[in-house]
Amino acid sequence: MSLSTTRRALLGAAAIGGIAPAARAQSYPTRPVRLVVPFPPGGGVDAVGRILAEPLGALLGQPVVVENRAGAGGAIGVEAVAKSPPDGYALSMVSAGNITAGPVVRPTPYDPLALGHVSMVTRSPLLLVCGNALPAQNLAEFVALVRREPDRIRFASGGVGTATHLAVELMNLRLGARMVHVPYRGTAPALTDIIAGNVDIFFSDASAWPMVQQGQMRLLAVSAATPWATSPQTPSVGSAVQGFDISNWYGIIAPPGTPEPIRARLAAHIATILGRPPIIEMLARIGFDPAPMPPAEFTAFLRAEFETWRGVVQAANIRAVD
């Protein structure tokens, strides 16, 4: 084969390789898509995943099937997706606990910043809720109680290294307190024990809001510095704890190497769905705000938050306990 012929063949192969991802995106999907929720049913991640699944399936032309795979602070479900073929047929709902916070505390079997980032989906403050038996009736009384009896308060979390864990560790750091950590396998079981009085406080996602409205628990504060539209009269933790400002978010990832055209198509569909008034209303009822974000912007956000949580873990000297 002549040099010119070889060169033309190589250029042709390169062109085909460049076109292939776009071609796959155009034909994708041809079978059902799996959406792994790495926490038990009943929590906020699960609720948002199920709200999104049906309309996303309608836009894709194939069912989006929700699968709960809980454990290890959400790492087990994400690992299952990370090890799947990078073809867009395995996705996972994720949160700070298994992407930006948890991996700082305990190494994960996947590189969170190398996953196929698709889009942020929702954003909201964490809700500092307490059981009805807790003597503190408001944020000021709670802070006074923590300072007066630092070992008394038992706080729930969705697992070691989750945002619900590190948020209280940041409070411990700021207040010089020693609230006692009681880890759970997700939001739903933690909320069950808040209601039962087995633990005192929990930084829940917005799925706790209906239980607050029903009088099953009390809302002491929200984690973000700005007022929460759903309950604007609720104070921020930062009003009593200096330097405290945390947001809760959920997003969708795919396996590493998932072609950008497929991720971009998914992100565009997610943005379309999150702009629909009925979806906005459904999310608002459980306390979430739509927050679509294209893949590149989502990646930049994740990198910045990873560094933020690394600072908290180092300052609080948090270590994983096996």
Contact criterion met (CB below 8 Å) for 125 and 228 = yes
119 and 131 assigned to the same domain = no
Same domain, 92 and 147: no
Q: Which of 83-92, 181-190, 208-217, 269-278 has the lowest mean pLDDT?
A: 181-190
Is 225:116 a contact under the CB 8 Å cutoff? no
314 confidence band (pLDDT: 50, 70, 90): confident
* Contact between 82 and 258 (Cβ < 8 Å): no
Domain presence at residue 4: no
- Lowest pLDDT segment from 73-82, 97-106, 274-283: 97-106
89 found inside a domain: yes
Confidence of residue 84 (pLDDT cuts 50, 70, 90): very high
Residue 89 to residues 23, 35, 45: CA-CA distances in angstroms?
16, 8, 19
Where does a domain end: 239, 272, 294? Answer: 239
55 and 92 share a domain? Answer: yes
Q: Which of 186, 219, 239 is the last residue of a domain?
A: 239
Q: Are residues 235 and 251 in the same domain?
A: no
Under 8 Å between Cβ of 258 and 86: yes
Question: In this structure, is residue 11 part of a structural domain?
Answer: no
CATH number at residue 230: 3.40.190.10
For 256-270, what is each residue's pLDDT tens digit?
Answer: 999 999 999 999 999
Q: 194 with 267, same domain?
A: no
Number of domains in the chain: 2
Q: Which spans in 127-185 are helix H?
A: 139-148, 163-175
Is residue 99 one of the residues assigned to a domain?
yes
Same domain (yes/no): 148, 230: yes
* Assigned domain for 180 exists: yes
d(CA 126, CA 38): 19
If pLDDT is split at 50, 70 and 90, which confidence band does 287 have? confident
Residue 51 sits in the same domain as residue 79: yes
CA within 13 Å, CB half, 173: 17
Do 132 and 272 lie in one domain? The reply is no
In a domain, 20, yes or no: no
113 lies in the same domain as 131 = no
Question: Would you state the structure tokens that stand for residue 188, as one six-digit string?
Answer: 């739903």
Q: Which of 246, 239, 302, 240 is nearest to 124 (CA)?
A: 246
pLDDT band for position 207 (cuts 50, 70, 90): confident
At residue 3, does pLDDT exceed 70? no
Band (24; pLDDT cuts 50, 70, 90): low
Could you tell me if 93 and 252 are in contact, meaning their C-beta atoms sit under 8 angstroms apart?
A: yes
> Does residue 44 sit in the same domain as residue 192?
no
Mean pLDDT of 51-58: 98
The answer to the question of residue 18 being in a domain is: no
Domain span at residue 212 reads 127-239
Domain end among 182, 213, 239: 239
**What is the mean pLDDT of the segment spanning 279-291?**
91
- Specify if 322 maps to a domain: no
Whether 116 and 251 map to the same domain: the answer is yes
Q: How far, in Å, CA of 57 to CA of 124, rounded?
A: 25
**CATH code of the domain in which 281 resides:** 3.40.190.150
Residues 135 and 108 in one domain: no
